[in-house]
Amino acid sequence: MTLIRRPLPAEVVAVRALTPHLARITLTGPGLEDFGYDGPDHLVRIFLPPRPGAALLLPEGADGWYPAVQAMEPEVRPVVRNYTVRELRPEKAEMDIDFVLHGDDGPASAWARKATPGDRIGVLSDGAEYAPPAGTDWQLLVGDETALPAIAAALEALPPDVPAIALIEVTGPDCEIPIDAPSGTTLHWLHRGDTEPGAGDLTLRTVRDLDLPPGTPYAFLAGESAMVTTVRRHLCTDRGFAKDRVYFCGYWRRS
Ligand SMILES: Cc1cc2nc3c(=O)[nH]c(=O)nc-3n(C[C@H](O)[C@H](O)[C@H](O)COP(=O)(O)OP(=O)(O)OC[C@H]3O[C@@H](n4cnc5c(N)ncnc54)[C@H](O)[C@@H]3O)c2cc1C
């Protein structure tokens, strides 16, 4: 099967509120049956109209999507953002993406807040990074709500005998979602309450206080950039994690 690595048109078929701040948007389109799925954090780049109500032009070009986007006139250039495939159903040419609704200051969040069936965007398959190396005895997965799709999918795919500790920072109890994690998982929901997303050090403090199991770990850290960086530093400097056993990615930056 040849996987498609160019932007594809997709149409919203369903929108479901998972929590007050998280919307699951189901998309369909020609080519999604060959979108490809490399793992639980499979990256999908979304292409949105430059302004609400404007036409959506998807970049075309043999040199890849990025130069093609840069070559477009600013008034027609699509907005491009990074998301995670929460679930791909190739047999139905469908995918789910879970969007954090953080307000209208970002075009992707603003689009997701108003999305309705029939709306059109572009989607580009871009691969996965989560990859516990051979010899991993246990896993540590840490993130905020932007990493919830990746962490939930990683937990759901774990064999029952692999111990895992997952920490997910959200606003409050109404932002938790069911995760079908195997019995070896210890899942901690961290509630930041009135603290703004990305502010405070709740996740870092909780990781510092964790009793970690013996054996060789693999860590997956994703979410607000400063949180991810400080947690990685703590694991590698104070807890003896080998750097090549810690995947970390700033999914967004608090401004
Ligand atoms: C590999 C990868 C996978 C990702 N997967 C997902 C996913 O599945 N679901 C998801 O919701 N996000 C995901 N993200 C994060 C998402 O790309 C960012 O949150 C992005 O900034 C949203 O774009 P925007 O247009 O809404 O806001 P932007 O235009 O990028 O930013 C506008 C303002 O909003 C703030 N902001 C951005 N994101 C947030 C947030 N989450 N909370 C509070 N303030 C914010 C910024 O600091 C800025 O001030 C992923 C990122 C990466 C790199």
CA dihedral 133, 81, 223, 150 (to 10 degrees): -50
pLDDT, position 63: 81
CA dihedral 116, 117, 121, 125 (to 10 degrees): 120
pLDDT, position 64: 86
Å from CA of 131 to ligand 1 middle: 23
Å from CA of 205 to ligand 1 middle: 23
* Ligand 1 touching residue 251 (CB < 6 A): yes
SS3 (DSSP) at 153 = helix
Å from CA of 73 to ligand 1 middle: 24
pLDDT, position 124: 96
pLDDT, position 48: 98
pLDDT, position 61: 78
pTM of the model: 0.97
Residue to mutate (ligand 1; options 102, 192, 229; most atoms within 8 A of CB): 102
Residue to mutate (ligand 1; options 79, 101, 146, 228; most atoms within 8 A of CB): 146
**Residue nearest ligand 1's atom 30 by CA:** 106
Give the chain's residues under pLDDT 50: none
Q: Is 80 left (phi over 0), alpha (psi -120 to 50) or beta?
A: beta
* Ligand 1 touching residue 2 (CB < 6 A): no
Helix (H) or strand (E) holding 238: helix 225-238
- 170: which strand partners? 191
Domains of the chain (ranges plus CATH)? 8-125 (2.40.30.10), 138-252 (3.40.50.80)
Direct distance between the N- and C-terminal alpha carbons of the chain, in angstroms, rounded to an integer: 42
In order of 2, 45, 220, the CA distances from 77 in angstroms are: 28, 15, 33
Q: What is the DSSP letter of 133?
A: P
Question: Hey, how many other C-beta atoms are within 10 angstroms of the C-beta on 20?
Answer: 11
* Ligand 1 touching residue 81 (CB < 6 A): yes
Cα 190 to its chain centre, rounded Å, is 18
